[in-house]
Structure 1
Amino acid sequence: MATRTYEEAITKLNTLQSNFATLEAARRVGGVNEYAIAETEEYLARIGYSPSDLNRLNVIHVTGTKGKGSTCAFATSILQQAKPNWNIGLYTSPHLVAVRERIRVNGVPISEEQFTKYFFEVWDRLEANDKRARPTTPPKPMYFKYLTLVAFHAFLSLKVDATILEVGVGGLLDCTNVVPKPIVTGVTALGYDHVAVLGKTLREIAFQKGGIYKPGVPAFSVPQPPEALESVKKQAIDRQASSFTVTPSLPALSSLRLGLAGKHQVQNATLAVYLCHAFLQSVDEDATRPPIEPQLPQDFVKGLENAKWPGRCQKIKDPKHELITWCLDGAHTTESLTCCAEWYINPEVALQDRSATRVLIFNCTNGRTGEEFLSQILATISSQLTLLQEDASAHGVGWFNHVIFCTNVTYADGASKGDLHNNTVDHKNLEQLGTQHALADAWAKLVPEFNRDHIHVLPSIQHTVELVHILVTPATPAQVLVTGSLHLVGGVIEAAGLSEVAL
């Protein structure tokens, strides 16, 4: 048999993506598959596992609307410091540049060889065992569910000592919720942003998120809006969690420089501390763990300071173009864009080089309201400048010197790296650059004095990076904010050759 390659694995994986029409149809009926857990259990059986096997992974299960990836990154870093001889698995989504970023051990993505091995072992087992308990179950799971199976298989094969498991969508019916008894569970911030997008009330969203709570397992949540907190707490009670804790603030965090930038990360770091403390108390029954108040244990401190999470409030120098600074944040809701702009307008970020040409690269997807998003960015920039006692007029109208609205297509020839291939976009809209023109019109409306020649609509990320290179001269370095979409941030990292410094 010919040797199988990573590229072949990615090609097969991409056949499991839903297309735009399928996703739109699912959204119209609420987007919930009531058989999701039953199907996941069926797929597990077909590749040789039972749900109880997953308990060996020692899972910290995390869901939420905002901050769940960052919380997982903090938790992983803390456990690496607290248990340096352990192998710590981390499963998250989406990825920025390479699919294998979703499956990490000790913070490092599994290798292409490992991914290929585990991918095809799952593929072959599904092919060899096509007997299905329910005739409506597809022969193979769709993209995210398939990768979840690969992650479970990889972590069990590698015998990881602990697993940080991030929910994909929701919680109750998410395929990651197939783990019968995690060690500890946590819910990050639940935001109003997703109410309109999902067509659900905040109470309904909280009910889904709280669905990861399990009998006899400690349940945590960050402080939530009243109706969300009531629903999450009820889930903890109804699902017989061993305890329910709304994470109090930790004064000790105020003196730390967290590895992830932005003041919103304090809440995520706080949840990670409580999750890890409860986790270690559970798995180290014979060991005495120091308390987390009034001072954090030193291994927790190091974990929080060393945490890394690419593409979120990340400032990097271009390794090939020293005059370009990239400010990357995959924020894609009004609330997260507020956090992004608060981080960006800061003496250590945007205000560090006042001579730079300021460029915004922006895109948004899935029917989100571009004008609302751009308005939020501008309003937050204005309020931050006022807070910092900066003269806004001295920085020019609209803050930025150029704004670029581009698609998430990576290359100028219309191609994307296999890992970045996306079937879920409306191709008619993409061909006509409909979203990008709408964003340009929205910007012109919001900032009528802005130079129209400096509002750019471009068909690919490669075109965008090339324009940034043109804007740079020895006398005018460029500072580029990329936001609105994690897919866009990943594409910029790929097209601009930033992987070695960003990932």
Structure 2
Amino acid sequence: MLPSLVRMARTRSYSEAIRLLNTCQSNAATIEAIRKSGGRLNDWAVKEMVDYLRRIGYQPDDLNRLNVVHVTGTKGKGSTSAFTERILRSQIAGGKIGLYTSPHLCAVRERIRVNGEPLSEDEFAKFFFEVWERLEADPKTLTDHTPVFPIYFRLLTLLAFHAFLSLGVDATVLEVGIGGTYDSTNLVPKPIVAGISALGLDHTAVLGNTIESIAKNKGGIYKTGVPALSVKQEAGGEVLAECAAAVGAPFEVVPMIPSTPLGLRGEHQRINASLAVALSRTFLKAEGKTPADVDDVLPASFVKPLADTKWPGRCQTVPQGETTWMLDGAHTVESLQSCGQWAWEKNTGGAPNVLIFNCSGGRQAEQLLGTLLEAGAQTAGTTPAELGKTFDTAIFCTNVTYTDGHFKGDLTAAAIDPDDLAALATQRALRDAWLALNPGFDAERVHAVPSIQHAVNIVRPLGEKRVLVAGSLHLVGGVMEVAGLQDALTME
């Protein structure tokens, strides 16, 4: 734990709130332990969160006032949450719809939105210090090993609960961070509805984990008497049904909606939109706010909000002068498959010819890059080797924001292994993997660099290029920050 002096507030400003929040980040070793646990962390995870909640003045039953739609899954939980929020906003006239998601791209405030807009800096600081000072005033923790201030994601979850309760939201779309059963969002005794998007062996999976064990963890968000929804799963669906039956939750595999224009690109988004439609329908029925055709597979009044949905940094194209940025935070094998399909679709306006890529340390560089190229080649009707030749430049950078080695405050990442960072070990492994996958590629045009600003500086003189940024949402957010793409962050 950092010295107590560092934890004392100097002012009540937004920048000071971010400084204090960053003292709660876990280091690389702790993050790796969380990943290996599949999001379980420890047997005290939920009990500790309940006690933190008590210390800021609430009981779990208070969270029922938030009217929660709880969403988890391996793939598509963020997109499902975005679709759901947009539908509910269109249906609850004059209402306040809260949305809690992670991670953020450029500013921590993006994680906590009301009617699509992030909390302002003043609002974030106000609610942050109210939570921080309540924890400070009641420092007795549940156990000797429980820190006085919760780790980063737990603190933000407490902040979201406090902000949404203070603002009197009419509905809350609550995205799980990691896993389900042991996640810090899993405190609400009685959500209105809970849903699970597609399951898969994602980047948190380790040796011994199976789809069945992942499904059991995700199914931990199902609650007694609360409608328990899921998309049709390739595997693990029976486990989800068993999880629902074990707690007495009515279980439903949602139907696929017919093809309709969606604000989020990629064929896989129809699966996410289908879950969002079912979640919204169930919510509106429970709250007595139902349109006349609510029982249709796709109610007519849901069509426009689905088409209007925006989810920054996911399959997003942003033109900027001579450069067209193609942004997708895909960071798993499954999501990189979808990214490849999207980036080489004929209707994206053109294929990428520059790549900026990063992934967390210890991951399989060749597998991830190979997946992206194979999916793109299949979509474009060519081979991965031929597709690789269409690139002018490939850049592999860390998630450090600036060339001077500093992060923007909101983008500070204590989870980066300092030894890996100093040696550019991950970036060099990615460079080697790219050259192995693309024999004959000009090695002078493959870069391993220490910051996002280095990468953007390489792109700028290249002239008219289409730049695919992928492998990490933190990377996408950093590029948006450094390249000046903040206007693309809106969900409006």
Count of aligned residue pairs for this structure pair:
481
Cα distance, 1:133 vs structure 2: 3.9
Name 2:166's counterpart in structure 1: 157
Name 1:257's counterpart in structure 2: 261
Further displaced range: 141-150 or 2-11: 2-11
Distance 1:337 1:284, change over 3 A: same
1:22 lines up with 2:30 in the alignment: yes
Partner SS, residue 181 of structure 2: coil
Structure 1 distance, partners of 2:436, 2:121, is 46
Structure 1 distance, partners of 2:273, 2:378, is 26
Name 1:315's counterpart in structure 2: 317
Matching residue within 265, 276, 282 for 1:278:
282
Name 1:438's counterpart in structure 2: 429
Partner deviation per Cα, 1:134-175 (whole Å, 9 max, x = no partner): 333221110000000000000000000000000011101111
Matching residue within 376, 395, 400 for 1:381:
376
Counterpart mapping for 1:329-478 below 5 A:
329-349=328-348, 352-353=349-350, 358-386=353-381, 397-472=388-463, 477-478=464-465
1:230 lines up with 2:234 in the alignment: no
Structure 2 distance, partners of 1:75, 1:424, is 31
Structure 2 distance, partners of 1:366, 1:317, is 31
Partner amino acid for 1:236?
A: A
**2:277–2:298 CA contact under 8 A, matched in 1:** no
Cα distance, 1:239 vs structure 2: 1.1
Partner SS, residue 279 of structure 2: helix
Partner amino acid for 1:261?
A: R
Structure 1 distance, partners of 2:63, 2:403, is 43
Name 1:5's counterpart in structure 2: 13
Cα distance, 1:366 vs structure 2: 4.2
1:487 lines up with 2:491 in the alignment: no
Counterpart mapping for 1:37-76 below 5 A:
37-76=46-85
Structure 1 distance, partners of 2:485, 2:36, is 38
Further displaced range: 449-458 or 323-332: 449-458
Cα distance, 1:4 vs structure 2: 1.4
**1:378–1:398 CA contact under 8 A, matched in 2:** no
Partner amino acid for 1:435?
A: T
Cα distance, 1:201 vs structure 2: 1.1
Structure 2 distance, partners of 1:288, 1:325, is 40
Cα distance, 1:381 vs structure 2: 1.7
Structure 1 distance, partners of 2:71, 2:49, is 18
**2:74–2:201 CA contact under 8 A, matched in 1:** no
Partner SS, residue 389 of structure 2: coil
Distance 1:172 1:391, change over 3 A: closer
Partner SS, residue 90 of structure 1: strand
Structure 2 distance, partners of 1:23, 1:148, is 17
**2:36–2:205 CA contact under 8 A, matched in 1:** no
Partner deviation per Cα, 1:197-216 (whole Å, 9 max, x = no partner): 47411101000000000001
Name 1:297's counterpart in structure 2: 300
**2:361–2:426 CA contact under 8 A, matched in 1:** no
**1:250–1:293 CA contact under 8 A, matched in 2:** no
Distance 1:440 1:85, change over 3 A: same
Structure 1 distance, partners of 2:26, 2:467, is 32
Gaps of 5+ in 2: 1-8
RMSD (Å) for aligned C-alpha atoms? 1.9
Distance 1:170 1:289, change over 3 A: farther
Distance 1:78 1:27, change over 3 A: closer
Structure 1 distance, partners of 2:333, 2:285, is 37
Partner amino acid for 1:500?
A: D
Cα distance, 1:57 vs structure 2: 0.2
Partner SS, residue 12 of structure 2: coil
Matching residue within 68, 73, 90 for 1:81:
90
Give the TM-score normalised by the residue count of structure 2: 0.94
Cα distance, 1:327 vs structure 2: 0.2
Structure 2 distance, partners of 1:116, 1:463, is 32
Structure 2 distance, partners of 1:391, 1:233, is 40
**1:330–1:489 CA contact under 8 A, matched in 2:** yes
**1:10–1:418 CA contact under 8 A, matched in 2:** yes
Distance 1:353 1:134, change over 3 A: closer
Matching residue within 251, 255, 258 for 1:248:
255
Cα distance, 1:25 vs structure 2: 4.6
Partner deviation per Cα, 1:397-431 (whole Å, 9 max, x = no partner): 43311111111111000011010000001111111
Cα distance, 1:27 vs structure 2: 5.1
Partner amino acid for 2:146?
A: T
**1:81–1:303 CA contact under 8 A, matched in 2:** yes
Structure 2 distance, partners of 1:392, 1:136, is 50
Cα distance, 1:335 vs structure 2: 0.8
Q: Percent identity?
A: 53
Structure 2 distance, partners of 1:481, 1:344, is 8
Structure 2 distance, partners of 1:232, 1:225, is 12
Partner SS, residue 346 of structure 2: coil
Name 2:324's counterpart in structure 1: 325
Further displaced range: 288-297 or 147-156: 288-297
Cα distance, 1:283 vs structure 2: 0.7
Partner amino acid for 1:334?
A: V
Partner deviation per Cα, 1:316-364 (whole Å, 9 max, x = no partner): 111xxx1110000000011100100100101222xx347xx81000010
Structure 1 distance, partners of 2:206, 2:362, is 8
Structure 2 distance, partners of 1:2, 1:471, is 44
Give the TM-score normalised by the residue count of structure 1: 0.92
Partner SS, residue 164 of structure 2: helix
